[in-house]
Structure 1
Amino acid sequence: MQLAQTGEALGASYRFGERVGSGAVGEVWTVTSADGQTLAAKVLRPEHADDPSLIERFVRERSVLLALKDSSIVTVRDMVVEGARLAIVMDYIAGGSLRDVVKGSGPLRPADAFDVAAEVFDALAFAHSRGVTHRDIKPDNVLLNRPWSERATGDVRVSDFGISDVVGEKLRQTTGLVGTPHYMPPELISSGRSGPPGDVYSTGVLLYELLAGRTPFAGAGPDFSVAYRHVSSRPPRIPVDDKVWEFLDLLLSKDPARRPTAADAAATLRRLAPRVADHAPLARVEAPEDFDDVERPATMVRGSFTDEDLSALASAPAVQEDVPLPDLGEAGSATMVRSLPRRDVRPRTVARVDEEEAPPFWRTRKALLLAGGAVLLIVAMIVGFMVLSPADKSAEAAGAGEQLSAQLQDPALPTGLTISRNASYSPSSGETRLTIAYSAQKAPLSGEFLEVIPGLSEGDSCPAATWEGATVSRNQGSITGVDVECGWKLSELKIPAGGRVEVTATVPVAPADQKALDTWLSGGSEATTAAMQEPAVMGTAYPVQRLLGVEVRTPSRVVTPSPLKITLVPVWAGGPDELNPLYISPASGKPSQMLAAVTGGEQGLRFSDGCGGALAVDSSGLTVTALQITPQCTVRASVGNFTELQSPSFGITSRENAGD
């Protein structure tokens, strides 16, 4: 069933043209914008759009993808949410994909393969520097600005950045796989996680395919057999220069830490290019009958499989009656989005010893020695129990019957938030009652807050909690961008300026002593603080706890008399966030939720003249007008608890001199 129809509207700005592609995630259509421009739109399939949290992830990724602008990346123009339809609108690249080239031409000239792979690495280097990982590099997602016969350097465009993050989860353990088995890095298969080194590995697979005409682990068996070879097998050597093979083997290293960065890989390919400048394409390399195993393949910790399971899968025929393994289609180019199948694992059979070859165990000298040792051990245990048991039981009873309590107060945050925690353990209930008090200083604070409640000991599972005083749900890292274990999201809190709000959680943990309670309480506080100060976190979640500062931005020169455009940029642990401004003056529409969270809204915001009368501020304190000519001027701002803010210097000129 098609997800759209020719001529149908997409949002308010686009109209569908022709369907140009289809895959596991969605369909690709040409669309025409309101100004007549031809673009492409990837429309996600309904089974993905039906996920309620996906829309939030979709919106969260929007600012990241719209900012990912580089000549080697297909530019995302818009993201449309229209009822149950989700679509990513991007530049239309007319030259086709690298998959078309591989199908039509087979192995490429090494010089051409190097050139294309280097440009893919360029795109990845740019994206990785912006904190974005692709996770599904393959020929289908490498597009050409012109047909291959007309191609020139600089025509490569990498597409579908962010699709795996919208459909799957970024750098998180999963219960299934999102990707294409022929190109999956081993760490994604063994642990469910993949980052920038995984992109480098997948591009190494792509380069191998461009040179050899097939991927390194293509061969007999279903897609999971192919996937497991990434973990367990060595890539078969192909007839290329030794230095080229050494580099290719490094790209395909099982250890992510051994692989080069994308930028280094691009530089190395260009350095090696003269060695292959005159080389003809290789003859298509056929898959070997057997693959050489690595000495110690990575342990599979997917939960759905044991090593024994996957070894069986690796040698399985293409069809197995007891394990329904899906086929990904020709060339393994389809992105797989599905859970891993489960198999019953039977215990191994232990071989029996023939009684004629060995005497009964009870007649051996070893058995007699073990029996004698056991008797001595039993006597020692009885004596020890008699001597130590009363004291131990008394101590245990004293610990179990002791009421414990602990208090902790965190330093005040830049927004004026102070968090204090009080934990009290009741032996009668076997539970700990945690009271969290949130206090505000100069400005009212509101919105969502994060609280981490860890297990009592390292390795314990996250405990359940019964909450009072707030609307509480589990933190979902795929939505908030904050990936932390045992995190809770507290919503709809409103703390008045100078006021205090308390929230309580009853947690089924029973600390053995005062030290255990103190450690548990401080562990939750430290984990919460660390999550809020993580530089890699992108997005605007939990602004009251994450906002470190506010930058006041203005144009470098303005014309008198005219309103002064002022942008308040939030500063997180990872730096200023120009994509999600806190406020823009003159304002249109409602203030941002971030501003409401850290100041209570526009009433907590004021601008003032920083250059002796050259600026006029209206009675609301929110609109500033440039009045007098001056070479240097600044505007001051007060934003909630941030009271000493000032813009960089800018000039005010007249309209007559504006063009000078």
Structure 2
Amino acid sequence: MARSAGDPLGARYRLLERIGSGAAGEVWRVADAQGPDRAAKLLRGEHVHDAGLVERFVRERSVLTRLRHPHVVEVLDLVVEGETLGIVMELVGGGSLRELLRDEGTLPAVDALPVVASILDALAAAHAIGTVHRDVKPDNVLLAEGADDAGSAVRVSDFGIAHVVAEGPRATTGVIGTPEYLSPEMLATGAAGPPSDVYSTGILLYELLCGRTPFAGPGADVAVAYRHVAMLPPPLDLPPRLASLLDRMLAKDPASRPTAAEAAGILRRLSPALAGLAALPLAAGVAEFEEAERPGTVLRGMAVEMSSEPVEEGPAPELGPSSQATVLRPVPRRELRLAERPFEAPAPRRRGGRLRMILAAVGAGVLLIGAVLLAVQPRGGGAPVSAPDADPSARQQDRPLPTGLGVTRSATWDAERRAVVVEISYSAQSAPLSGSFLEVLPGPDAAAACPAASWSGVTAVRNRPSVTGVGVGCGWSLTDLHVPAQGIVDVTATVPIAVAEQSALDGWLAAAASATAQAVADPAVTGTAYPVQRLRDVRIETPARTVGRTPLPVTLVPVWPSGADPVNPLLATPSSAPASSMLEAIAGGVEGVRFSDGCSGAVAVSSDGLTVTALTVIPSCELRARVGAFSDLSSSPFAITTRE
């Protein structure tokens, strides 16, 4: 369907000029009858006739418009009209990070790190509400005009495209993304989670520092895909701590990567010390790549009679000319046949890593994206991943909590002290977090007594169910913790238990994390203890009807695993009563609360964002709010009338 300037887009918008195009559609500058000019991405015609995509498009509207963050291009509206599917966004006029790279070649670390930290902040906010980007690359990072520095100018775009075009919110059976930035697990299975976004951002950081992506080189997209799966990124001349973080972000195993919030915090801590570090020269092309070490592949099962029929080679899928272009096409499904010659499995090698990554050539026509088949068996649910060292060690990472809390745990067996040393990192996203945190440190097996533990970096006491209401065994209350916004706090526990074997240490750390997660999510627990870990949502309550020209009573009600608790509100306004300690814990107090008008001018909000006044008569009005990491909250509709 050809479009031209002046065409309407829904009832509210009008096309002005085309400002770009991509694999998913065209981008237009549009006039908004209710405000400033916007940007609209109009999906290509083939998507219009995909009934499943249109259904998802409508269904995901609330998710896309809910994502609010200073470093995210705000999705304002989704238009479904006839043969038009459009995503209306704020207009960002400062160009893209791709254009900045073309102009500068490479960026010094002191400039690159704040940019990437801001991108990770945006991703962390998206991950907290269950949204994955899937196509992080410089082209999708826009820069706002008038910002003091590139870090504050960052606006990540195309969350809408990545979320809608995919077959579901957590997985896809097609290749959706840009080959040079795709994670190994997405290339192998199509599965995309938060770790995939972190991997892509690691590729982007690498490119900002040296001017090229790590796996670019000779060959087409299939060669790039193979390198993501099987090769190590060429090392850069970087300070050790920055190089270590980059290695973690580019780990083949998704569970070994930091969370977006954790990586952002580390980058911000590293940045000041790198002020004198000059930009790297533009990296030359790489002729040969070093192969990543993989665990031995062991195939077990019944003997199978091998087919003597030749394997027919099918046509390889067309992948397009550029590995930097977004690919939106399904991966062909082909029947796999056994090879004519039996495969002799090598003797298993003992490795600490629990990742089982099997890389095999199966005939000439069955390859990953036309070249390689990678079968990944991920350790779901945040299971620990052991390190490939002589001394057993393990690492585990939680999914971010609704309050923005991220938790990473590592455990190492200390043979000299006959104890396990547990390091716990707490990270916060957009709001500071504080108060008491729960950690469960069980015995080495279910029958063992709860072990003692010595703590450093925090004051810790045994959890008392009579006080907290949380009846988990072997629990510890870590008191008076303060995690700054976009920061990380580390604490350490030494636990005198004998888990010297790798499998035992893996199991113990998984049990500790699982017991903690189950305790803070227990719907049978009532009370207000451990709000940073237990709070699931915040509800805005207002009267069903109020009178114009009067203050609007508003109550912020905490929602726990057991349900809403209106008896113990976070905040009531207007009121002279102080905010609750729970609000201090999850948002840093009233400074973390902001109300906003969702009624098209029918209410007014004070300059501090805390007092709301009803103004004009309106039959249905909604109040919006941000409370710490809980962004874009909305009240139930209420009416403003002229009298009681």
CA contact (8 A) 2:77 2:89 kept: yes
Alignment of 1:508-523 (within 5 A): none
Q: CA deviation at 1:324?
A: 4.8
CA distance in structure 1 between the partners assigned to 2:537 and 2:251 by the alignment = 42
Partner in structure 1 of residue 231 of structure 2: 233
Per-residue CA deviations over 1:505-561 (Å, capped at 9, x if unaligned) read: xxxxxxxxxxxxxxxxxxxxxxxxxxxx999xxxxxxxxxxxx99989324994499
Partner in structure 2 of residue 451 of structure 1: none
Task: Name which of 312, 317, 340 aligns with 2:331.
Answer: 340
Q: Which amino acid aligns with 1:47?
A: E
Alignment of 1:70-89 (within 5 A): 70-89=69-88
Q: CA deviation at 1:335?
A: 1.1
CA contact (8 A) 2:178 2:325 kept: yes
Shift in alpha-carbon separation, 1:282–1:83, aligned structure 2, 3 A: same
CA distance in structure 2 between the partners assigned to 1:84 and 1:654 by the alignment = 44
CA distance in structure 1 between the partners assigned to 2:254 and 2:119 by the alignment = 18
| 1:281 and 2:272 aligned | no
Shift in alpha-carbon separation, 1:125–1:347, aligned structure 2, 3 A: closer
Give structure 1 regions of 4+ aligned residues with deviation exceeding 6 angstroms.
Answer: 342-347, 548-552, 560-567, 571-576, 652-655
Partner in structure 1 of residue 16 of structure 2: 17
Partner in structure 1 of residue 121 of structure 2: 122
Task: Name which of 504, 520, 541 aligns with 1:553.
Answer: 541
CA distance in structure 2 between the partners assigned to 1:575 and 1:177 by the alignment = 39
Task: Name which of 192, 216, 219 aligns with 2:217.
Answer: 219
| 1:256 and 2:249 aligned | no
CA contact (8 A) 1:200 1:259 kept: yes
Q: CA deviation at 1:39?
A: 0.5
Per-residue CA deviations over 1:130-179 (Å, capped at 9, x if unaligned) read: 2211111110110000279x745411101111312211123555442111
Partner in structure 1 of residue 108 of structure 2: 109
Q: Which amino acid aligns with 2:93?
A: A
CA contact (8 A) 1:144 1:151 kept: no
Alignment of 1:497-646 (within 5 A): 553-555=541-543, 558-559=546-547
Give the aligned length: 368
CA distance in structure 1 between the partners assigned to 2:191 and 2:296 by the alignment = 13
Q: Which amino acid aligns with 1:70?
A: H
Runs of 5+ unmatched residues, structure 1? 300-319, 352-532, 536-547, 577-625, 627-646
- SS of equivalent residue, structure 2 residue 60: helix
CA contact (8 A) 2:143 2:150 kept: no
- SS of equivalent residue, structure 1 residue 57: helix
CA distance in structure 2 between the partners assigned to 1:249 and 1:132 by the alignment = 25
- SS of equivalent residue, structure 2 residue 159: coil
Instruction: Between 179-188 and 274-283, report the one with greater CA deviation.
Output: 274-283
Q: CA deviation at 1:82?
A: 0.7
Partner in structure 1 of residue 65 of structure 2: 66
Q: CA deviation at 1:9?
A: 0.6
Q: CA deviation at 1:566?
A: 11
Per-residue CA deviations over 1:251-307 (Å, capped at 9, x if unaligned) read: 0011111111111111100111123211121111123212111122799xxxxxxxx
Q: Which amino acid aligns with 2:541?
A: R
CA distance in structure 1 between the partners assigned to 2:548 and 2:95 by the alignment = 51
Q: CA deviation at 1:197?
A: 0.9
Partner in structure 2 of residue 100 of structure 1: 99
CA distance in structure 2 between the partners assigned to 1:162 and 1:11 by the alignment = 18
CA contact (8 A) 1:110 1:211 kept: yes
Which has more radius of gyration? Answer: 1
Partner in structure 2 of residue 367 of structure 1: none
Q: Give me the TM-score of the superposition, normalised by structure 1.
A: 0.50
Q: Which amino acid aligns with 1:111?
A: V
Per-residue CA deviations over 1:379-408 (Å, capped at 9, x if unaligned) read: xxxxxxxxxxxxxxxxxxxxxxxxxxxxxx
CA contact (8 A) 2:29 2:40 kept: yes
CA distance in structure 2 between the partners assigned to 1:160 and 1:575 by the alignment = 34
Partner in structure 2 of residue 272 of structure 1: 270
Shift in alpha-carbon separation, 1:162–1:323, aligned structure 2, 3 A: same
CA distance in structure 2 between the partners assigned to 1:261 and 1:27 by the alignment = 32
Superposed CA RMSD in Å reads 4.2
CA distance in structure 1 between the partners assigned to 2:562 and 2:268 by the alignment = 32
Shift in alpha-carbon separation, 1:324–1:560, aligned structure 2, 3 A: closer
Q: CA deviation at 1:115?
A: 1.1
Q: Which amino acid aligns with 2:126?
A: A
Partner in structure 1 of residue 54 of structure 2: 55
CA distance in structure 2 between the partners assigned to 1:95 and 1:188 by the alignment = 31
Per-residue CA deviations over 1:419-474 (Å, capped at 9, x if unaligned) read: xxxxxxxxxxxxxxxxxxxxxxxxxxxxxxxxxxxxxxxxxxxxxxxxxxxxxxxx
Task: Name which of 323, 328, 344 aligns with 2:316.
Answer: 323
Runs of 5+ unmatched residues, structure 2? 298-312, 343-520, 524-535, 565-613, 615-634
Per-residue CA deviations over 1:351-391 (Å, capped at 9, x if unaligned) read: 9xxxxxxxxxxxxxxxxxxxxxxxxxxxxxxxxxxxxxxxx
CA contact (8 A) 2:132 2:170 kept: no
Q: Give me the TM-score of the superposition, normalised by structure 2.
A: 0.51
Task: Name which of 162, 167, 182 aligns with 1:169.
Answer: 167
Per-residue CA deviations over 1:2-45 (Å, capped at 9, x if unaligned) read: 5x211111000010011111011011000001135110000000
CA contact (8 A) 2:540 2:554 kept: yes
Higher helix share: 1
Shift in alpha-carbon separation, 1:279–1:560, aligned structure 2, 3 A: closer
Shift in alpha-carbon separation, 1:18–1:186, aligned structure 2, 3 A: same
CA contact (8 A) 1:177 1:337 kept: yes
Shift in alpha-carbon separation, 1:561–1:338, aligned structure 2, 3 A: closer
Q: CA deviation at 1:203?
A: 0.5
CA distance in structure 2 between the partners assigned to 1:195 and 1:346 by the alignment = 30
- SS of equivalent residue, structure 1 residue 20: strand
Q: Which amino acid aligns with 1:296?
A: R
Alignment of 1:351-500 (within 5 A): none
Q: Which amino acid aligns with 1:167?
A: V
Task: Name which of 191, 194, 197 aligns with 2:195.
Answer: 197
CA distance in structure 2 between the partners assigned to 1:270 and 1:98 by the alignment = 19
CA distance in structure 2 between the partners assigned to 1:199 and 1:168 by the alignment = 14
CA contact (8 A) 2:73 2:156 kept: yes
CA distance in structure 2 between the partners assigned to 1:550 and 1:211 by the alignment = 41
Per-residue CA deviations over 1:571-593 (Å, capped at 9, x if unaligned) read: 998978xxxxxxxxxxxxxxxxx
Shift in alpha-carbon separation, 1:574–1:342, aligned structure 2, 3 A: farther
- SS of equivalent residue, structure 1 residue 154: helix
